[in-house]
């Protein structure tokens, strides 16, 4: 049986600008907070994220779309929560349909798809890579760590080689980072 090749729908310019607008707003709020604390002679509180002006209390929300039948997805959600994300679990009957709707290439798919600030995060991607994505804010649809590599967050076993995390943009796949 020949695999079905799907072409992801390109995101609209409006969606891309929305992410940039949120970045500008977060940067402006962060700068204002920094100026106020500097003017008042106060230092940032412990746990403050000086990259965006957010504190550890202001967690980034990440939605994890998963099947009810997958146990590693719940372990991955717990891992994300431990890493400071606000996790919203979305149990779906047809996870593959959701993956297709956000542009995940099926040959790079895993068991769950997360959405964070307009990007998809496919599979067992480590939190450090998600933070890299949010810090750099590249003009892409999302990132994927294909399969279910041993030792990756949410998966048992030991890491047995390099993990390549790919960036996906309008169906084009490039290397995002290697761990």
At CA 132, angle to CA 126 and CA 135, rounded to 5?
Answer: 145
32 belongs to a structural domain = no
Quick: pLDDT tens for 28-77.
Answer: 334 334 333 333 344 444 444 444 444 444 689 999 999 888 888 888 99
Per-residue pLDDT band for 111 (boundaries 50, 70, 90) equals: confident
pLDDT at 14 over 90: no
CB 109 within 8 A of CB 131: no
The pLDDT value given to residue 58: 67
4 belongs to a structural domain = no
Domain span holding position 76:
52-178
User: Which residue has 């008042």 as its token pair?
Assistant: 40
11 belongs to a structural domain = no
Q: Indicate which CATH number applies to the domain containing 95.
A: 3.40.30
* pTM recorded for the entire structure: 0.67
User: Which residue has 């796949």 as its token pair?
Assistant: 173
Sign of CA dihedral 71, 76, 82, 85: negative
Q: H-helix or E-strand containing 177?
A: strand 172-178
- Cα 72 versus chain centre, distance: 17
């Amino acid at each position: 049986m020949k695999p079905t090749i799907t072409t992801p729908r390109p995101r609209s310019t409006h969606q891309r600008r929305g992410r940039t607008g949120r970045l500008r707003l977060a940067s402006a709020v962060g700068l204002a907070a920094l100026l106020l604390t500097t003017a008042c002679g106060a230092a940032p509180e412990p746990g403050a994220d000086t990259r965006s002006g957010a504190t550890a209390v202001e967690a980034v929300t990440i939605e994890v779309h998963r099947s009810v039948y997958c146990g590693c997805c719940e372990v991955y959600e717990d891992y994300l929560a431990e890493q400071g994300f606000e996790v919203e679990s979305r149990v779906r009957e047809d996870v593959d349909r959701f993956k297709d709707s956000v542009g995940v290439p099926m040959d790079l798919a895993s068991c769950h798809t997360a959405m964070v600030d307009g990007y998809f995060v496919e599979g067992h991607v480590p939190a450090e890579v998600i933070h890299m994505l949010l810090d750099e804010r590249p003009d892409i649809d999302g990132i994927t760590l294909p399969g279910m590599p041993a030792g990756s967050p949410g998966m048992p076993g030991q890491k047995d080689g390099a993990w390549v995390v790919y960036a996906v943009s309008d169906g084009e796949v490039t290397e995002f980072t290697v761990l």
